[in-house]
Structure 1
Amino acid sequence: MQISSYAQSATMRSNLSQIQTQLADLQRQLASGRKADSFGKLGDARNLVLALNNQVSQSNSYLDTINMTQTRIKASSDALTRVDQIASEMKTGGLTSQFNLTGTGQTSLQTNAGMRLGELVDLLNLSVADRRLFGGKDTQTEPVETADLILNGDTSRAGLKQVIAERAAADLGDGRGRLTLSSPTPTSVSLAEDAASSPFGFKFAAVSSTLNGATVTGPAGTPAALDIDFGASLPSEGDAISMDFMLPDGTKTTVTLTATAENPPGKGQFTVGPDATATAANFRTALDTALQGEAQTTLKAASAVQAGNDFFSNPPMRVTGPAFATATAMQAGTPADTVFWYKGDTSGTAGNNFIATIGDGSQIAYGARADQSALRTVVQSTAVLAAVSYSATDANAPASYSALTQRTSGALAFNNTQSVQSIVTDLGLKSSTLDTSKKNLQTQISTSQTLLDNTQNADPFTVATQLTTLVTQLQASYQVTSTLSKLSLVNYL
C-alpha cells in the first residue's frame, strides 16, 4: 500500500509540466533573444510593439527618400557649379577678347563658346539612376537638344544661325535700320521709321539739338518721323544734333552729328556749306553714312542678341517672311520648321518641380530646370557667341563684335536677375534641410528601436539566471517525485 495519494501524484506531475514549459520557453528566449515568438504572446505590450515597428519602418522609408534626394541634389549642384564656371568664363572672355579672327571667321572666344555649348548641353542632360535632372517632371526625355541642332538646325528645321540671319535682314532693311531718309525740300532732311507697327530696326527715343538756325521737329507722327530744316542762319562749328534710338534687344544707341567747317568732314561730322541747301545736302550724306555704320555695328549686334531671345523663347519666334528685309511682324515657329532647344516638361514654374516626402506630413520641393531664366541665359549667350561669324574684310566687324560681346557679358553678369549661383545656393539650402530631417529621423529610429528592444528582447543574463534556477527546481522535483514513488507501508514496518 503506497502512502502518496493519487491527488498528490497528479499535482506533482502538473508542477513538473509547468516547470518544463517554463524551461522550454526560457531556452527559446535564450536562443532567439526574444521574449515571445509571436505578437499575441506579448500581452499588453503587443500594440506598442506593432506601432513602434511601423514607425521604424516608415522612418527608414523616409530616410531612403532623403538619401536619394540628396544624391540628386548633389549631382545637380555639381553640374550647375560647372555651368556657373562656364558663364564666368564666357563673361570674362567677352570683356577681354580681342578681335582676331581665325580661319573660321570667328575669334578664339567664339570657337571656345561652341565647345562650351556642347558641354552645357551634356550637363543639362545629366541623369542619375535613369532620371533626367533638368527636364522638370519629364524625367526620361533629354531636355536639351544637341549643340549642332541648336546652332545649325537640319533640313527642315531652322536653327539659331538661320533665325539670326532672318532677324538681321529684318532689322537692317536696306542698310539703314528700317529708317527712310529723304529731302522734302532742298533745305530740309527727313528721317522716319518705315512702318508704325514693325518691331524691327531703329526706333526713335529722343532727339536733342544745338544746331543754330535749324528747325528740328519731332520725332512725331505714325510712323514716327524727324524733320531738320536749315534756315538762312547756318549752324556754327561745334553745333550738334543727337538722335537716341532704341534697339531690338532693348538697349539704346545714339547717333550724333557735329557741324564743322572742314571738308571733307571727320567721322560723326557734317560740313556747313555756303548756304542752307548745301548744308542740308552735306547733313543728309553724313547722316546716311552714320546710320549705315551704326546699323552694321550696334544694330547688328543687338539684332543677334534679340534673335537669341526669339529662338530661346517657348515657342521660338521667327520673322514673318520672306521677304525679311521688309517684314513687319513675328510669328511662332513650329516643331516642324524650327528647332525647339528645350524638350522637357514646361508645366508650372521652372525649378522645384520634384516633391519628396521626408516625414509625416513633411515634404520638400527641389530641383532645377534647364529652361530656368539663369540657365537659359547661359545657354543662350554662349550659343549666340558661337553662332555669329565675321568677314576679315568688313571694316565694321570689330565694332560689331565688341558690341556683341558687351551684350553677352552683360547678360552673364546676372544683374538684378536670377543667377546660376542663386540656384546652386537654393539647392544647398534644400540639402541642409534634408540633413536636419535625416538627423531627426535617425534619432527617432534610435529611440523607437531602444524601446522596442526593451519591450520584446530578452535579457540573456536574466534568462540564464532564471534557466539555472528552473533546472535546479526541476532536478529537485524529479528527486522528490522519485522518492515519493518508492514509498510504501512496508518501509515503516
Structure 2
Amino acid sequence: MTTIKPFAAGSYLTNRTASQLTTLKSQLSDLSTQLSSGLTAQTYGGLGSGRSTALSAQATLSALTGYAAGITAAQTRTNVAVTSLTQVATLGIDARNTLNNGLQSTPVNATAAKANALNNLQAALDTLNQSVAGNYLFGGENSTTQPVLDADTILNGNGTQIGLTKFVSNQVAADLGPKGNGRLSQTYPGLDSSNVPISTKITLSDDPSSRADPASGYKITGASPVPTPGGIAASSALNPTGTSATVTIDVNQQPAAGDSLTLSLQLPDGTQTKLTLTAAASGTTPAFSNTGFAIGANQAETAKNLNDALTSALSASAGSTLMANSTARAASTFFSAPNPTTTAANTVVWYQGENGSSDPLSTQSVQVSAGSSVQIGVRANQPAISNVLAGLATVALGMPSSSDPNAAAIYSAISGKAQPLLSSADTSPGTSSTGALPSVQDTVTQLSLASTRLSNAATTNKASQNTLQNTLDGIEQAPTEEVVAKLLDVQNRLQASYQVTASLSKLSLVNYIS
C-alpha cells in the first residue's frame, strides 16, 4: 500500500514537535540577542505596532537635539551682546554725568573730559566688533564682515578718504566762515581818514549758504532794540532774491544806560540763539565786550563801540555755540551711515554691516521649537548707538584746551549739544514710523528677555526630550531582568523538549511492550 508521507500516521505529531523546537530555538536566539544588545529588536520592523511611535519619537528627538545646539550658541551670542551693549550704555551715561559734574571748573575738566571721551569712543568702537565663534554680533544679517572699522581709520581716515576728525573740522570751518563769525558780513563805514567815527549805521548780512540745504553758518532772523522807540533802531529785510537777509542798525540818538539790542540768529540745525548787547555809561565798562558797549561822546562813537561789541559777540558765539552745533551735527551725520553726505567717495563709512530697513532684532533669529523662534539681532548703527558714539565724538573733538580764554562758554555749549546725544544710552532717542526707537539700555533689555526665552525653551525642550526618550526606551530597550527570566524559561522548555524528543526517538515496539 502506498503511503503519502506528510499524512502518514504520526507525521503530524512529528512535524509539530519539530516546529515547536524551531520556534523555541528562534525565541532563544532572539532573547540572547536582546540580552547582548539591550534592544528589543534589531530593526524597526521587529518592534511591531510600536515602530510608528518609535520612528516619530526618533524624529522629534533629532529635532530637539538640533534646537539645543542652536539655543546654546544663541545664548552665548546673546550674553556677549548684552555685555557689550551694557558697556556702550555705561560709557554714554558716565560721559553725560562727567559733563554735568565738570561745569564747576571747566578749564580743568574740559581737558579731562576731552581725553576721557576719546578713550571711551575708541573703547565703544572696539566693543561693537565683538564676535562669537567667528560670527560678528553687531552687523545685522551680515555676521561674517567686521561691522565697524578700526578706531584709527574712523578717526583719521585711510589716506584716500577723510575720517571723523577731518569731517568735523571741515563742517566747523564751513559754518564759522573765513572771519570766524558764522559767515556773516558786517560793515561799519563810519570812520574818517583819522579813524574818527562819523557814521551811526551798522549793516549785518548773512550768507546765502545759511538758507541752502544743508545750511551753513548763521541765518539772521531778527534784531530787536529795547526800548522802542529808543536810541537804537534796527530794521531787517531780505534781498530781492530772497537768498540773504540784511539788518541795518542805527544809533539815531544817544541811548540810555541799560538800553539794549538783541540779535536773533538761526543755527544750521534750525535751533535759535540770541545775542544781547547792553549800553553802559562811559567809563563804567570797557568800550565794548561780548555782552555790552559803552555810550560814547556822540552817536557815531557809540555806534563804533556797538559795532566792535557786535564783532566780539559774534566771534565768541560762533566759536562756542555755533562750533558746538557744527561738531555735534557733523558727528551725528558721520555716525548715521550711510547718508547723503557721508559717502565712500570722500569719507570713510564707519559701519560695514547689513543696513536694511527691517527691525534690527529680526536680523538674527534662532529656532527653538517647531513653531517658535527667538530674535537676537543687533546693528551697530542703530540710532541710539549712533547717538552715543556721536555724543562721545562731540566731546572728544569739541572740548577746548585749558588755555582757551573762551573755555567756559565752549564747555557749556559742547555739553549742551553732547548730553542729548549721550542720553540715548538710557532714553529713547525719538520715534519712527513703527513706534518709539529703543535706547541702548532698551536694546539690552530686549536681548536679556531673548536670553530668558532661550533658557525657558531649553528647559522645555529638555523635559520633552526626557519624556520622549523614556517612551522610546520603553519601546526599543529590552529590560534585562525580564529578558533573563524569559531566556531561562525558554532554555528550560527547550531542554525539556530535547529530552522528551530524545527519549521518544529511542522508543521501539520491544521497549513499548516491555
Q: Spell out the pairing of 1:266-285 with structure 2 (5 A cutoff).
A: 267=289, 268-273=291-296, 276-285=299-308
Confirm or deny that 1:458 pairs with 2:478.
Answer: yes
Partner letter of residue 384 of structure 1?
T
In the alignment, the residues of structure 2 paired with residue 370 and residue 309 of structure 1 have an alpha-carbon distance, to the nearest angstrom, of: 14
| C-alpha displacement of 1:253 | 2.6
Confirm or deny that 1:432 pairs with 2:452.
Answer: yes
In the alignment, the residues of structure 1 paired with residue 331 and residue 202 of structure 2 have an alpha-carbon distance, to the nearest angstrom, of: 35
Aligned pairs, number: 472
Confirm or deny that 1:385 pairs with 2:395.
Answer: yes
Between 1:164-173 and 1:392-401, the stretch displaced more is 392-401
In the alignment, the residues of structure 2 paired with residue 287 and residue 416 of structure 1 have an alpha-carbon distance, to the nearest angstrom, of: 40
| C-alpha displacement of 1:388 | 4.4
In the alignment, the residues of structure 2 paired with residue 148 and residue 228 of structure 1 have an alpha-carbon distance, to the nearest angstrom, of: 49
Partner letter of residue 303 of structure 1?
S
Instruction: Indicate if the aligned counterparts of 2:263 and 2:275 stay in contact, CA closer than 8 A.
Output: yes
Q: Which residue, out of 447, 455, 468, partners 2:488?
A: 468
Instruction: Indicate if the aligned counterparts of 1:150 and 1:159 stay in contact, CA closer than 8 A.
Output: yes
| C-alpha displacement of 1:219 | 6.5
Which residue of structure 1 aligns with residue 166 of structure 2?
162
Q: Which residue, out of 235, 240, 252, partners 1:217?
A: 235
Confirm or deny that 1:39 pairs with 2:44.
Answer: yes
In the alignment, the residues of structure 1 paired with residue 154 and residue 313 of structure 2 have an alpha-carbon distance, to the nearest angstrom, of: 35
Q: Which residue, out of 193, 198, 218, partners 1:202?
A: 218
Confirm or deny that 1:25 pairs with 2:30.
Answer: yes
CA RMSD of aligned residues (A): 2.6
In the alignment, the residues of structure 1 paired with residue 267 and residue 106 of structure 2 have an alpha-carbon distance, to the nearest angstrom, of: 23
Q: Which residue, out of 64, 68, 75, partners 2:80?
A: 75
Partner letter of residue 197 of structure 1?
R
Which residue of structure 2 aligns with residue 324 of structure 1?
none
In the alignment, the residues of structure 2 paired with residue 395 and residue 32 of structure 1 have an alpha-carbon distance, to the nearest angstrom, of: 90
| C-alpha displacement of 1:285 | 2.3
Provide closer, same or farther for how the CA distance between residues 8 and 416 of structure 1 changes in structure 2, counting only shifts above 3 A: closer
Instruction: Indicate if the aligned counterparts of 1:204 and 1:219 stay in contact, CA closer than 8 A.
Output: no
Question: TM-score, normalised to structure 2's length?
Answer: 0.84
Which residue of structure 2 aligns with residue 226 of structure 1?
247
| C-alpha displacement of 1:150 | 1.5
Instruction: Indicate if the aligned counterparts of 1:136 and 1:350 stay in contact, CA closer than 8 A.
Output: no
* CA offset digits 1:50-73 (Å, max 9, x no partner): 111101111211121111111100
In the alignment, the residues of structure 2 paired with residue 278 and residue 484 of structure 1 have an alpha-carbon distance, to the nearest angstrom, of: 149
In the alignment, the residues of structure 2 paired with residue 40 and residue 118 of structure 1 have an alpha-carbon distance, to the nearest angstrom, of: 65
Q: Which residue, out of 342, 354, 357, partners 1:345?
A: 354
Instruction: Indicate if the aligned counterparts of 2:165 and 2:397 stay in contact, CA closer than 8 A.
Output: yes
Q: Which residue, out of 203, 227, 240, partners 1:190?
A: 203
Provide closer, same or farther for how the CA distance between residues 231 and 266 of structure 1 changes in structure 2, counting only shifts above 3 A: closer
Aligned residue for 1:257, secondary structure, equals: strand
In the alignment, the residues of structure 2 paired with residue 405 and residue 123 of structure 1 have an alpha-carbon distance, to the nearest angstrom, of: 24
In the alignment, the residues of structure 2 paired with residue 389 and residue 404 of structure 1 have an alpha-carbon distance, to the nearest angstrom, of: 7
In the alignment, the residues of structure 1 paired with residue 70 and residue 157 of structure 2 have an alpha-carbon distance, to the nearest angstrom, of: 40
In the alignment, the residues of structure 2 paired with residue 108 and residue 16 of structure 1 have an alpha-carbon distance, to the nearest angstrom, of: 98
Instruction: Indicate if the aligned counterparts of 1:316 and 1:340 stay in contact, CA closer than 8 A.
Output: no
| C-alpha displacement of 1:48 | 1.7
In the alignment, the residues of structure 1 paired with residue 453 and residue 26 of structure 2 have an alpha-carbon distance, to the nearest angstrom, of: 53
Instruction: Indicate if the aligned counterparts of 1:114 and 1:386 stay in contact, CA closer than 8 A.
Output: yes
In the alignment, the residues of structure 2 paired with residue 219 and residue 362 of structure 1 have an alpha-carbon distance, to the nearest angstrom, of: 65
* CA offset digits 1:168-202 (Å, max 9, x no partner): 22111122211222359944433332115331112
| C-alpha displacement of 1:146 | 1.6
Aligned residue for 1:241, secondary structure, equals: strand
Q: Which structure exhibits the higher relative contact order, with contacts defined as CA atoms closer than 8 Å and separated by 6 or more residues? A: 1
Which residue of structure 1 aligns with residue 6 of structure 2?
none
Which residue of structure 2 aligns with residue 411 of structure 1?
421
In the alignment, the residues of structure 2 paired with residue 390 and residue 17 of structure 1 have an alpha-carbon distance, to the nearest angstrom, of: 102
In the alignment, the residues of structure 1 paired with residue 309 and residue 114 of structure 2 have an alpha-carbon distance, to the nearest angstrom, of: 34
Q: Spell out the pairing of 1:2-401 with structure 2 (5 A cutoff).
A: 5-97=10-102, 98-100=105-107, 107-173=111-177, 174-182=179-187, 186-195=199-208, 197-198=211-212, 199-205=215-221, 207-212=223-228, 213=230, 214-218=232-236, 222=242, 223-232=244-253, 234-263=254-283, 264-265=286-287, 267=289, 268-273=291-296, 276-315=299-338, 332-349=341-358, 351-352=360-361, 353-388=363-398, 390=400, 394-401=404-411
Aligned residue for 1:413, secondary structure, equals: helix
In the alignment, the residues of structure 2 paired with residue 393 and residue 11 of structure 1 have an alpha-carbon distance, to the nearest angstrom, of: 116
Aligned residue for 1:238, secondary structure, equals: coil
Confirm or deny that 1:442 pairs with 2:456.
Answer: no
Provide closer, same or farther for how the CA distance between residues 300 and 453 of structure 1 changes in structure 2, counting only shifts above 3 A: same
Which residue of structure 1 aligns with residue 194 of structure 2?
none
| C-alpha displacement of 1:412 | 0.8
Confirm or deny that 1:483 pairs with 2:511.
Answer: no
Q: Quick one: percent identity of the two aligned structures?
A: 34
* CA offset digits 1:238-272 (Å, max 9, x no partner): 23233333333554432111122234356411234
In the alignment, the residues of structure 2 paired with residue 392 and residue 473 of structure 1 have an alpha-carbon distance, to the nearest angstrom, of: 105
In the alignment, the residues of structure 1 paired with residue 136 and residue 25 of structure 2 have an alpha-carbon distance, to the nearest angstrom, of: 64
Aligned residue for 1:63, secondary structure, equals: helix
| C-alpha displacement of 1:289 | 1.6
Between 1:400-409 and 1:339-348, the stretch displaced more is 400-409
Aligned residue for 2:158, secondary structure, equals: coil
In the alignment, the residues of structure 2 paired with residue 429 and residue 231 of structure 1 have an alpha-carbon distance, to the nearest angstrom, of: 70
Instruction: Indicate if the aligned counterparts of 1:354 and 1:367 stay in contact, CA closer than 8 A.
Output: yes
Aligned residue for 1:119, secondary structure, equals: helix
| C-alpha displacement of 1:143 | 1.4
Between 1:268-277 and 1:255-264, the stretch displaced more is 268-277
Partner letter of residue 280 of structure 1?
A
Provide closer, same or farther for how the CA distance between residues 426 and 205 of structure 1 changes in structure 2, counting only shifts above 3 A: farther
Unaligned runs of 5+ residues in structure 2 are 1-8, 191-198, 430-437
Aligned residue for 1:364, secondary structure, equals: strand
In the alignment, the residues of structure 1 paired with residue 33 and residue 403 of structure 2 have an alpha-carbon distance, to the nearest angstrom, of: 96
* CA offset digits 1:385-408 (Å, max 9, x no partner): 333475665422442233223322
In the alignment, the residues of structure 2 paired with residue 397 and residue 139 of structure 1 have an alpha-carbon distance, to the nearest angstrom, of: 44
| C-alpha displacement of 1:291 | 0.9
